[in-house]
Structure 1
Amino acid sequence: MKMPNFLIIGAAKAGTTALYFMLNQHPEIYMSPMKETNFFALEGKTLNFKGLHGLPDGVNNISVTKIEDYQALFEFVPDRIKAIGEASPSYLYLPETPKRIKHHIPNPKLIVILRNPAERAYSAFVFKSWKGEEPFLDFAEALTQEDQRIKDNWTWGWHYKNMGFYYEQLSRYFNEFDRSQIMVCLHEDLQKRPQETLQSIYDFLEVDRSFVADSDTRYHSTGGLPKNKYLHSLVTKSMETAQSMKVVLKPLIPKNLRLPLFYLLNDVRRSNSQKQPLPLEIRKQLISAYHDDILNLQELIQRDLESWLKIEEASLV
């Protein structure tokens, strides 16, 4: 059975989704039809992750934990394909992953995208808030809940601060794999120089570097934090109810109205949100917490990360 020969291992909210879709356009690259399989992070485990209100999180249902199911994702890869991959940001964060990867794929190519950890944390918070999955609209309050949420086995999507200690996480990969197998990109590379960054990745994957992918589409873009929490909650619950009851609702709503109705609800949710910068005081606290990790990471990946240590107003997320 075929297995991937490269993986996008993270970090979450750093551009992995955009890279997944851009690479999937390349005629010599095959990306698994399912993004975020989480297989190498969770193989063989019985999943009981929690989420909002302590209820079971959806990651329990969508993650692939059996090797047979994982291999089935790559069963129909065309012969012309040179690079077979998948993308799961959990791989960088969850500590047992590198050894599992090495067990199943001894010589993979690993792509990492890293983002200023303070901004990454805030982006994850805004994303959860926009989806109606974060009960606190105050980022400072959400951060105070993080340690307890981790103890209560909430999924890593709520580990806003903890997911930003990249040196600790990436060191596990440098201990398991040769440096030549690991390519590290920065979020700002993908944003400011997408085609140049993609060409470097094509070279790393040994595919045609002349291919030009669509790099203008924005994936997982959110409107920002809700302006009216009640309206946001109402719309989000309506969308979730429609999704969970789609079998029942399908015959009741004409086919030509289903998708427009979904887009309408999503537009209402987006218009009820606003871009807000990361509060300066919280930014200071986070950068202080990440300071040593950033300096160590700088040495590990041989990139200048001084801009990540600047105490200034963050861009709108």
Structure 2
Amino acid sequence: MENAKLITPNTILIGAQKAATTSLYNWIAQHPDVCGPATLKDYAFFAYDEFFNQGLESLSHIYKKEYNQEKIVIHGFVNYMFFEKSIKRIYNFNKDIKLIMSLRNPTDRAISAYEYQVKSQKEPIKTFLDALKAEESRMEENDYSTVADLTYFNHGLYYKQLQIILKYFPLEQIKVVFYEDINTNPKQLILDVYSFLEVDNSFTPKFKTMNKTGEIKNKTIHKLFYSRSPIKQKIVKYLIDPIFPLEKRLKVKIFINEYNTKDKARVENTYPIERAYLQDKFKEDIEQLEKLLHVDLTQWKK
């Protein structure tokens, strides 16, 4: 974890997207034996060349502001499990590191991810079905953001992703949890995670739900922060980025996202055509995942 000067992670929450990873990270980080700065949840250090090339010093710099000899130093990014390049970098960094994965019904996850990207103004395609049809070509693009954020089916192939991860790490080093358990039995879930991390599992965090897809409260505020206009990008690049350190920018982004999101009423049986399509496509991968993890995922296949 440490090499004289550097404070670096010994545990990483590697995904998946829209599977309550922000809430889980927050609950883990509340433990007194865990150092987990909020700004290092979804800081893509091992994924983005721009960040990775800055070296471990850039991670250590953020940790040092909060580190107080905690046993566990945690970091997270929801797309690590999706890219072998990231997993390989993590392995080369620390082959003994502990990994945590949160998995969600892949059809529900895909829908939530699509709605989130629409809300974030990253998804230009107006219907979910058309976005799914565009996925094959999107997967072939060289643009990292497109492949990482605007592909919905491939992110749900958990068995396929785990097979790649298991090329580098044994299953014993990976704690797999399920979104459904996070929602229905958070106390038992976090107890199991604390046990995996070998910290006192009698501690009970405050179970706050974070980073909901939800709905936008104020569209003007949302547009100000999420607009991808060339003018806004230049302002950020030449005025904001040079003045404000990365961790401060990330804190502001987290605060604005939480403040400007309200709950969205659930509508049953949304996207019936897309659901039927995805459930059929996911079936084989789910069955393979059941065998690998020795779990019953019948509800995911309905």
TM-score (norm 2): 0.79
User: Partner of 1:237 in structure 2?
Assistant: 223
Query: Matches of 1:285 and 1:138 in 2, distance apart?
Result: 14
- Assess, with a 3 A threshold, how the Cα gap between structure 1 residues 175 and 221 changes in structure 2: closer, same or farther: same
User: Partner of 1:10 in structure 2?
Assistant: 15
Query: Matches of 1:225 and 1:296 in 2, distance apart?
Result: 38
- Assess, with a 3 A threshold, how the Cα gap between structure 1 residues 79 and 300 changes in structure 2: closer, same or farther: same
Q: Is the 8 A contact 1:28 1:207 kept in 2?
A: yes
SS of 1:81's equivalent in the other structure is: coil
Asked whether 1:41 is paired with 2:41, we answer no
- Amino acid of the structure 2 residue aligned with 1:83: I
Query: Matches of 1:157 and 1:295 in 2, distance apart?
Result: 25
Asked whether 1:173 is paired with 2:165, we answer yes
State the superposition RMSD in angstroms: 3.0
Structure 1, 124-133 or 286-295: larger mean CA deviation:
124-133
Q: Is the 8 A contact 1:167 1:293 kept in 2?
A: yes
User: Partner of 1:70 in structure 2?
Assistant: 59
User: Partner of 2:149 in structure 1?
Assistant: 157
Following superposition, the deviation at residue 23 of structure 1 comes to 1.3
SS of 2:211's equivalent in the other structure is: coil
Structure 1, 94-103 or 275-284: larger mean CA deviation:
275-284
Query: Matches of 2:64 and 2:224 in 1, distance apart?
Result: 37
Following superposition, the deviation at residue 21 of structure 1 comes to 1.1
- Assess, with a 3 A threshold, how the Cα gap between structure 1 residues 26 and 237 changes in structure 2: closer, same or farther: same
SS of 1:303's equivalent in the other structure is: coil
User: Partner of 1:220 in structure 2?
Assistant: 211
Following superposition, the deviation at residue 131 of structure 1 comes to 2.2
Asked whether 1:133 is paired with 2:122, we answer yes
Asked whether 1:89 is paired with 2:78, we answer yes
Structure 1, 147-156 or 239-248: larger mean CA deviation:
239-248
Question: How many aligned residue pairs are there?
Answer: 270
Query: Matches of 2:80 and 2:198 in 1, distance apart?
Result: 23
- Assess, with a 3 A threshold, how the Cα gap between structure 1 residues 100 and 222 changes in structure 2: closer, same or farther: closer
Query: Matches of 1:111 and 1:240 in 2, distance apart?
Result: 29
Query: Matches of 2:123 and 2:66 in 1, distance apart?
Result: 38
**Unaligned stretches of 5+ residues in structure 2:** 1-5, 241-251
Q: Is the 8 A contact 1:26 1:211 kept in 2?
A: yes
Query: Matches of 2:131 and 2:290 in 1, distance apart?
Result: 28
Q: Is the 8 A contact 2:216 2:262 kept in 1?
A: no
TM-score (norm 1): 0.76
Any idea what the Cα deviations from partners look like across 1:242-272, whole Å, max 9, x if unmatched?
9877989xxxxxxxxxx9xx98xx76x859x
Query: Identity over the aligned pairs, expressed in percent?
Result: 29
Following superposition, the deviation at residue 86 of structure 1 comes to 0.6
User: Partner of 1:254 in structure 2?
Assistant: none
Query: Matches of 2:185 and 2:7 in 1, distance apart?
Result: 33
Q: Is the 8 A contact 2:84 2:165 kept in 1?
A: no
- Assess, with a 3 A threshold, how the Cα gap between structure 1 residues 274 and 140 changes in structure 2: closer, same or farther: farther
Query: Matches of 1:113 and 1:219 in 2, distance apart?
Result: 14
